[in-house]
């Protein structure tokens, strides 16, 4: 039995990178040092919601890169997709990281994901707020 057969029968989940970020692109991070990180998960009940979520993140990343002054404060990390085994609708989880480079900006914006604008976006994407989690980490140099 190969390792792939073992993984398949063990119920192991495969994580696929769908968007690159500052953690996968040394030139993008350059000489910036993160002071914190946020891990975000979005459970998507079906493939259509997942596609909308990934596309919204891609568009947001493009907008951010067009505002280089903000890239000095924070940046997206890579985005991954994990299909939910056995989900007949093609659902699963989108995982995203946020790198924070400025302590004051982090303190001010760390809960933006919970604000009215983001809640409106989640509703458009078809992702209920209870299916979103955000965990913040402080990085020690």
Instruction: Name the residue among 98, 91, 96, 84 with its Cα closest to residue 126.
Output: 91
Q: What is the pLDDT of residue 13?
A: 76
Q: How far apart are CA 127 and CA 130, in angstroms?
A: 8
Q: What is the pLDDT of residue 3?
A: 52
Give the pLDDT of the chain (141 residues) as one tens digit per residue. 555 455 555 667 789 999 999 999 999 899 999 999 999 999 999 999 999 999 999 998 898 888 877 778 999 999 999 999 999 999 999 999 999 999 999 999 887 787 788 788 888 888 998 999 999 999 886
| Three-state secondary structure call for residue 113 | helix
Q: How far apart are CA 34 and CA 12, in angstroms?
A: 31
Q: Please provide the CATH number assigned to the domain covering 14-138.
A: 3.30.70
Q: What is the pLDDT of residue 2?
A: 52
Global pTM value: 0.85
Q: What is the pLDDT of residue 8?
A: 54
């Amino acid at each position: 039995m190969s390792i792939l057969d073992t993984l398949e029968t063990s119920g192991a989940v495969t994580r696929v990178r769908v968007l690159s970020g500052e953690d996968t692109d040394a030139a993008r991070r350059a000489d910036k040092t993160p002071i914190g990180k946020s891990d975000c998960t979005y459970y998507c009940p079906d493939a259509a919601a997942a596609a909308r979520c990934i596309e919204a993140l891609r568009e947001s990343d493009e907008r951010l890169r067009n505002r280089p002054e903000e890239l000095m404060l924070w940046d997206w990390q890579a985005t991954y997709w994990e299909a939910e085994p056995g989900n007949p609708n093609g659902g699963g989880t989108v995982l995203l990281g946020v790198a924070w480079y400025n302590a004051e900006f982090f303190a001010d914006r760390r809960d933006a994901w919970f604000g009215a604008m983001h809640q409106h976006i989640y509703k458009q994407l078809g992702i209920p707020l209870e299916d979103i989690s955000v965990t913040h980490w402080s990085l020690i140099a």
